[in-house]
Chains A and B, each alone.
Chain A
Amino acid sequence: MFSPPDEHPVDRAVREYLEREAARVDAPTLLARMRANRPAAVNVGALTRRAWLRGAALGTGGALAAGAALYFVLGGTGPVEPKMLSATELIREAKNAHETEKLDRCYDVSADWDATPFQRRFPFRPIAKKAKLWTRGDQFFVESTFADGLPVKWGQEKSGRVWILPKPDRVLVYEPDDLAEPLARFCEMMSLRLVSTLAGMLETYDLKQETAGPDEPIRIAAELRGNPNSSLPRISKVAIELDPKTKIVRKAVLTRTINGDTLGSIEFTLLETAAPDKIKYDYPAHAAAKHLVIDGPRPPLLPPAQRFDPRHDPRAKFRDDWLKTWQNRSAPKT
């Protein structure tokens, strides 16, 4: 890459950083994905990749599917048989249903982790095999218990703020911009944001719908596009079951992989729907009446480089103790 002799030191550092990032890009895979979506004639106008996909779907789906797709593109709202909709449209409807409905839903959460790749990759063991999740949109809270029955809760408020109750009278609060590792990874692994998950399915997964009757649950399997051997812990597969009328998620199974190894799968099964405004996602509704809030470093603001330094974060010790306690109490008895 071009490197002028009078290059500013910051520019040089940025350039070297970008060069290292470029070396990690898998260009042949990117090209293969583009080839797979490339139309027969490229110079047909400024078609985007998604437009090509839509075109391919219309071409192979026949007049019926084309009619249904056009109907939805034009904003139609009348009754359409589920079998006429593509998997993408069904997931879009499910996302809209969860986004717009103001109801709180409770899911039973059951995790089946494979300990070997998990322990090789993460500073914590697979924990929380059973839990109960309340969610509305991307808000949620999770209730679980240690092996000895001690309750544990954490959640995310509407603002994106994450809270943890290591004890009922103590709250660790993380604003959206200060949730750092290892907690970010822990929350990412152990919870479900339905709206985000459905949005992710629309954007970066290949969707396949199982055939079903008009009143049977709609089952859609989603597989992540791109490199399956990524060193990032990805949700590689999602199997989802939708209510045929409301398009609400009845069941979801998320399979997580890292470097091609399966870390485990988490199954979410709809248990109940609560009356409006009964469920609260803000931490005061879950903490003891008298509780101590421990939040991040506040003004005077620290220099950016020190913001995530545990020595300046009063929550770090509590957070680490909490993660450690959870592991110890969740560990299988030998």
Chain B
Amino acid sequence: MRRAAIIAAAVIALGASGVGAYQLAPEPAATSAHWRELAWPFPRDGWPAGRAFRCEGGACDGAELYVRAKRGFCNCDSGVADDDEVDRVADVDLITPRFTPVAPGEVVHVGEMRGRVRRYDLAIHDGASHAAVGVALSRRCDLFVAAAQGRGDASAMQHAALAFLETQEMTAWVVAALDGK
């Protein structure tokens, strides 16, 4: 029995020190009915990769949504101050560096986070019009951003994207991502 105690202690100590530690593989993401998870489609940049989804069915059919946490943001008190801030941080530039806002943005709340959402036209020369939506939300000194793009109605895409971000599974993930998990 004494040997069992030593083995147990050693196993726990080794685990605590990181020797022999392993990470559980994440379970497949359970997404809501209309958004199917994709691989993150963009090359590495200064921020860690986020998550990507494609809308299947409904008014946002075919739209893609990219979301990620950006930890470390100087405006800890003022948050997302204006539309220029959305232009700068919302990751629309990952889709294309050439985007034009179609109207002033508006204030948006997702969970306990507050920020702004703005719509854009994208300059993608494939003969079709592309719309995008950029979302920037702040939590203390950190940002959560989302960008959606698609060929359908921008208003429907924005509505569907924000509704998806409000789901329990996404709000839980956002909190974890902003906590650096």
Q: Does B bind A?
A: no
Q: Hey, which bits of chain A sit against chain B, CB under 8 A?
A: none
Give residues in B with beta carbon < 8 Å to A.
none
